[in-house]
């Protein structure tokens, strides 16, 4: 099961030449993961942080850049669930434009108790949802 969202590459995502600045790709991916979180877990990231004292920080990422993107390009961000661990989760993210691969990242996130700042096992209902998507 893949989650997909489309976003425009904006001026603020680009360097002075109008080409996507690579750290901004990670902001775009994080925004898509925030949207994915609500769909996948049934709770928004804001509610997780504010009401549940839970976060999902990235602890590892591997990225590759295939082609440049320019200001105004429409980017299609696809997120697929990889491995579901006890406290962690791997997400495979692919960014394309017009069917052309632009950027890929494998992102490992951890469920964290924001009070103790320690990793926490996925709640059973969330784990079931995540495993159904893998």
| Consecutive H or E run containing 61 | strand 58-65
Complete DSSP assignment for 80-98: EEEEE-SSEEEEEEEEEET
Q: List the end-to-end C-alpha distance of the chain, in Å, as a whole number.
A: 7
The residue to which tokens 């990231």 are assigned: 45
Backbone φ and ψ of 107, nearest 5°: -120, 125
Confidence of residue 40 (pLDDT cuts 50, 70, 90): very high
Residue 46's SS3 state is helix
pLDDT tens-place string over residues 67-104 = 999 999 999 999 999 999 999 999 999 999 999 999 99
| In the chain, alpha helices (H) | 22-41, 45-52, 124-133
pLDDT of residue 11: 93
* Contact (CB, 8 A) for 110 and 59: yes
Walk me through the domains of the chain, giving residue ranges and CATH numbers: 2-133 (3.10.129.10)
3-state helix, strand, coil in the chain (%, to 5): 30, 45, 25
- For residue 114, is pLDDT > 90? yes
- For residue 1, is pLDDT > 90? no
What is the C-alpha to C-alpha distance for residues 99 and 93, in angstroms, rounded to an integer? 15
pLDDT of residue 61: 96
Confidence of residue 27 (pLDDT cuts 50, 70, 90): very high
């Amino acid at each position: 099961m893949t989650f997909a969202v489309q976003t425009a590459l904006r001026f603020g995502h680009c360097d002075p030449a109008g080409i996507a600045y690579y750290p901004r790709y990670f902001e775009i991916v994080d925004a898509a993961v925030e949207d994915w979180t609500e769909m996948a877990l049934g709770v928004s990231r804001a509610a997780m942080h504010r009401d549940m004292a839970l976060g999902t920080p990235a602890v590892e990422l591997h990225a590759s850049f295939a082609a440049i993107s320019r200001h105004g390009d429409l980017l299609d961000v696809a997120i697929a669930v990889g491995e579901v661990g006890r406290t962690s989760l791997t997400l495979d993210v692919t960014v394309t434009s017009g069917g052309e691969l632009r950027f890929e990242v494998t992102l490992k996130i951890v469920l964290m108790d924001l009070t103790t700042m320690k990793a926490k096992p996925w709640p059973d209902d969330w784990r079931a949802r995540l495993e159904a998507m893998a």
